[in-house]
Chain A
Amino acid sequence: MLNSADVDTLLLTLKVATIATSLMLLFGTPLAWWLARTQSHFKGIINALVALPLVLPPTVLGFYLLIVMGPSGFVGHFTQWLGLGTLPFTFPGLVIASVLYSLPFVVQPLQASFAAIGKQPLEAAATLRASPLDTFFSVVIPLAKPGFMTATILGFAHTVGEFGVVLMVGGNIPDKTRVVSIQIYNHVEAQEYTEAHSLAGVLLLFSFSVLLLLYTVLKTQPVSHPLK
C-alpha cells in the first residue's frame, strides 16, 4: 500500500519529531521552570514569545526563519562564520524550525504542572538538606510526571503534523526534508489519491491514538485553550 518513498517520508518524520521533542524537553524544561517560578518583568514577554506559534500562521513563522537563517540573516551569518553553511533546506534547519514551532506544546503543560506543585514540597526538601538541583530531580520531576507525559506526547504529535513551516524552511527534498505532510501534498498535486489516502490514514490514526491516550490513560483534561 505504501511505496518505499512513502515509508522513507514516514521514517524521516519520526526522526525529526524524535530529535525535536528531545530538544524541546531539554530546553523547554528549564524555561518552563523559570516561567513557573519567576516574578521577573520579562515573564510576560517570554510567555508571549513562546506562545506565538499557537496563533501565527506557520507560513509566517517559516518565512521569518527562512530570512533569519538564510545567507543574509544573523543566524545565517553565524552558521557561515562557523563554516556550517546555511540552515534552510537542510535537516538541522528543519529540526530547529520544528522546535520553535512546537515549543508551546511542551512548555505550557510543563509550566502548568510546575506551578501546581507549589513551594511547599520545595521548602520541605530544602529543610531535608536537598540542594535546589537535587530537589528538582528528586521532587519536582516525579511530581510533574503527568506534565512531562503530556508535553512529550503533544510536542511529538504536533511536530509530526507540521506542514507550513516545513514547506517554507525545509522545502521538499527527499530523505532530507520531505516529511509525511509534504508527501501527502505531493500525492494530491499529482492526482495520486490512493497513495494520499494511505498516508493520510496513517496520520489520522496516529493523531487520534495519541489524543485517546492523553484523555483516557493519562486522564489529561481536554486542552481548553492552550494560551490559558
Chain B
Amino acid sequence: MSNSIHARFQLSYSEFNLDVDLQLPSTGITVLFGHSGSGKTTLLRCVAGLQKANGRLEVNGKIWQDSASGIFLPTYQRPLGYVFQEANLFPHLTVKQNLDYGLKRVKHTNSTVKLAQTIELLGIEHLLTRMPVNLSGGERQRVAIARALALNPEILLMDEPLAALDYKRKQEILPFLTRLHQQLDIPVLYITHAQQEVAQLADHLVILNEGEVIASGNPAETLTSLELPLAQDKQQAATVWQVTVQAHDSQFHLSQVEFAGGTLSLPLMEFAIGTPLRIQIYARDVSITLQEPAATSILNVLPAVVTGLIDDHAGQCVVKLQVGAQPLLAHITSKSAALLKLQANMPVFVQIKGTSLLG
C-alpha cells in the first residue's frame, strides 16, 4: 500500500485542538470515524483548504500546503471533489447546470464522457431539468456526489454525506456508494459516525478523538482492537470479513462463502460463484465453546484461538479471537469467561449465530 497522502495539521481554538499526522492510502475509501467534536470535519476542511491550519499536506506527490515555506494552495486550485453534509447545491441553477458548473471550469478532454458515466452511476438522468428545491434529500445528495465526481478529481472528500438523511434515504444511497467504491480509482476520505457505513465502505479506518488520531489501520484490525471503544459497544461491536462466494446449495437454500482460513454457510443468495462480498458478524452473535460441539443447530462452528480479552467490570467480557487469518469479536458474560477459564492463545470453537451481508 503506497502512502501518497500525507497530512499533518495543527490547529488550536480555545476549546478545541487538532493535532494529526496521517499517512493515507492512495486508493480506496478511508473512513474518518469519531464522535461529533472529534475533529473529523475540521480535518477534512483543512485537506480541502476551506480552513487554514498550521501544517503540511501532500497529495499524489504534490504539495498543497506547507506552512514552513508559506505554500497554501487555495481551494479552487486543488484538484479535489467535495461532498458537503447538506448537499449544498446552487439553488439558482438546475441540476444539469449544477453538474456543469464545475465541469466548465476544468479542462479535461474526457469530461463529458465522465459526466455521462457519473449521471448513469448515480441514477439521476430523470432529474436533470429540475431545480434543487424540488428534489428529495436523497436525490439532492446524489446530485451533489455526481457534481463532485464529474470534475474527475484526484481525491474525493465526503463529509457525512448521509447524516442529514433518514433511514430510508440512507438505504437508497448506500448502494450507490458501494458501486462507487468498486468503480473509483481515486482515494476517498469519508467522514461518518455511523458504524454501518464504516463496515460497508471502509478500506482504511481512522479513528479520531478530541482532535487526535487514536487509530489508523485496516478496518478488520481497527474494528476489533480491544483498546478502542468500538469493540466494547454492546450493540454495535462487529467484525467485517471479506469473503468469496464458493457454492450454492439449493436443497437447503444455503450458499457457501470462503474466507481466509475457512468457509461459512449463509442463507442462499443470488451472486455468481466467485463474487467478492463483505459480511458483518456482530460480537453479540458469537458464542464460544471449549470442545467442538457434536450436535448443534448452529451451522457455522469454526476452530479459533483466543488472542485477548477485556472485562468491562459490569458483567460483560469482550473476547478477541483469530479464525484462520481473520479477527473475530465475541461478547460473552464475565461469568462464562471465568467458567471457561479463557485466556490468550487458548484454542476454542466459535459458533456464529448470524451474519449480515454488506454487499
Contact = CB atoms under 8 A, between A and B. Distances in A.
A132 B82 CA distance: 17
Contacts of A130: 76, 101-102, 105
Interface string B49-77: 11000000000000000000000001111
Residue from the set A125, A127, A131, A132 with the largest chain B CB neighbour count within 10 Å: A127
Given A126-B50, A129-B151, A130-B76, A143 B81 contact: no
A193 B75 CA distance: 65
Contacts of B92: 139, 142-143
B207 interface: no
B18 to A, nearest CB: 18
Contacts of A121: 88, 90-91
B151 A120 contact: no
Contacts of B82: 123-124, 127
Interface string B105-121: 11000000000000000
A194 interface: no
A1 B178 CA distance: 78
Contact of B88 (A123, A131, A134, A143): A123
A125 B76 CA distance: 8
Contacts of A126: 49-50, 74-76
Contacts of B74: 126, 131
B86 interface: yes
A76 B317 CA distance: 87
Majority-rule SS of A interface residues: helix
Residue from the set B75, B80, B92 with the largest chain A CB neighbour count within 10 Å: B75
B105 A127 contact: no
B102 A128 contact: yes
Contacts of A90: none
B148 A127 contact: yes
A114 to B, nearest CB: 15
B176 interface: no
A121 B86 CA distance: 11
A126 B84 CA distance: 12
A125 B92 CA distance: 13
Contact of B101 (A120, A123, A128): A128
Interface in A100-153: 120-121, 123-132, 134, 138-139, 142-143
Interface of A: 120-121, 123-132, 134, 138-139, 142-143
Given A126-B50, A130-B76, A143-B90, 7 more contacts: A123-B82, A124-B84, A126-B75, A128-B101, A129-B106, A130-B101, A131-B74
